[in-house]
């Protein structure tokens, strides 16, 4: 790879189901992660905080109201209080934890909101409780719909199904290479297909977990979108991330969709040291 070349920012979005808020998890360079708040009604994007480390977006979630979120992070400082990898619950869109669970490795971690006031902690018994808040509480007696291993899929695949995606295929192509396929019905008989890869030795710029997408029209047409790294049906249109940018596409009729509209380019952000307001 040429030294002047660089990968575009990698994006993942957590959509609040009962409010106009969303969280953008922006990764890039690989050892830095930026969190932004997206107001979907005004289409504004505001940086909250950066982490010199990795946030595992597929083990993260936002509460229905958008007031809180949960994330799993790793900075490799194994001798620290948080043991180098931890699960945190924070007030949206900040990183500063109100509940903090030290992990010490990258198995399990993260979790899902069950409602605005409670959450499920993935790999509960393997965490060390550092402090908690009564703003949201951990539910001990909860078992997710499916168990898909000890890393990202057990949170991510359950989040997708909770948010209206249907699991249509769970299969292995080869050793350490599998595709799990989800579908969501859109307006005018369109279907968005999400192909979730679990792959060791994937292409540069992709982790071992990465997604691609396919659009199926109402009349049976198929439009492959291999470069859509994240996509969702949001507020009556398709929103997707590609090459560090967020786009919106509207469905026109059962046979065609409109031209993509750029919502925001996230590529030129640089690290800032920002403190949370609490």
- pTM of the predicted protein model: 0.94
Residue 7: which pLDDT band, with cuts at 50, 70 and 90? confident
Q: Which of 40, 11, 41 is nearest to 24 (CA)?
A: 11
Paired tokens of 213: 């997408």
Place of tokens 């859509």: 228
**Cβ neighbours of residue 4 closer than 8 Å, sequence gap 6 or more:** none
Tally Cβ neighbours within 10 Å of residue 223: 11
- Residue-level pLDDT at 150: 80
First to last CA, the chain: 42
What's the mean per-residue pLDDT of the chain? 93
Residue 59's CB: how many other CB atoms inside 10 A?
A: 27
Q: What is the pLDDT of residues 208-242, one digit of tens each?
A: 899 999 999 988 899 999 999 999 999 999 999 99
Dist. CA 73–CA 94, nearest whole Å:
13
Burial of 143 (0-12, 13-18, 19+ CB in 10 A): exposed
pLDDT tens by residue, 100-114 = 999 999 999 999 999
Higher pLDDT: 142 or 9? It is: 9
Tell me the C-alpha to C-alpha distance, in Å, between residue 43 and each of 16, 18, 22, 213, 234: 14, 17, 10, 24, 12
Please identify which residue in the block is written with the tokens 């992709």: 206
Note the pLDDT of residue 219: 86
Mean pLDDT along residues 171-193: 85
Q: Helices in the chain by DSSP H: which ranges?
A: 153-162
Please, are residues 250 and 262 in contact by the beta-carbon 8 Å criterion? no
pLDDT of 2 higher than 50 = no
Tell whether the model's pLDDT for residue 1 goes beyond 50: no
Q: What is the pLDDT confidence band of residue 177, given thresholds at 50, 70 and 90?
A: confident
Residue 81 has pLDDT above 90, yes or no: yes
Which two structure tokens, joined as six digits, stand for 8?
């575009």
At residue 64, the pLDDT reads 98
Dump pLDDT digits (tens) for 243-267: 999 999 999 999 999 999 999 999 9
Predicted local confidence at residue 193, as pLDDT: 97
Instruction: Give the pLDDT band (50/70/90) at residue 175.
Output: low
């Amino acid at each position: 790879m040429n030294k002047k070349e660089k990968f575009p920012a990698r994006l993942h979005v957590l959509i609040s189901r009962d409010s106009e808020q969303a969280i953008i998890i922006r990764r890039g360079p690989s050892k830095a992660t930026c969190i932004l708040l997206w107001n979907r009604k005004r289409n504004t994007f505001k940086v909250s905080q950066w982490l010199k480390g990795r946030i595992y977006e597929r083990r993260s979630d936002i509460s229905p109201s958008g007031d809180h979120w949960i994330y799993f992070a790793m900075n490799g400082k194994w001798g620290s209080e948080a043991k180098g990898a931890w699960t945190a619950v924070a007030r949206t869109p900040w990183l500063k934890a109100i509940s903090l669970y030290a992990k010490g490795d990258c198995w399990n971690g993260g979790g899902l909101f069950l409602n605005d006031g409670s959450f499920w902690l993935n790999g509960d018994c393997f965490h060390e409780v550092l402090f908690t808040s009564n703003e949201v509480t951990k539910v001990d007696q909860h078992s997710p719909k499916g168990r898909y291993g000890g890393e990202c899929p057990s949170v991510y695949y359950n989040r997708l199904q909770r948010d209206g995606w249907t699991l249509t295929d769970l299969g292995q192509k080869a050793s350490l290479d599998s595709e799990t396929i989800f579908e969501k019905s859109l307006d005018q008989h369109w279907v968005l297909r999400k192909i979730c890869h679990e792959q060791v030795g994937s292409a540069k710029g992709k982790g071992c977990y990465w997604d691609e997408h396919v659009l199926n029209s109402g009349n049976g047409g198929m439009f492959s979108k291999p470069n859509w790294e994240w996509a969702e049906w949001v507020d009556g249109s398709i929103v997707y991330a590609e090459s560090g940018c967020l786009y919106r596409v509207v469905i026109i009729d059962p046979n065609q969709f409109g031209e993509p509209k750029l919502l925001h380019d996230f590529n030129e952000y640089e690290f800032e040291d920002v403190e949370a307001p609490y």
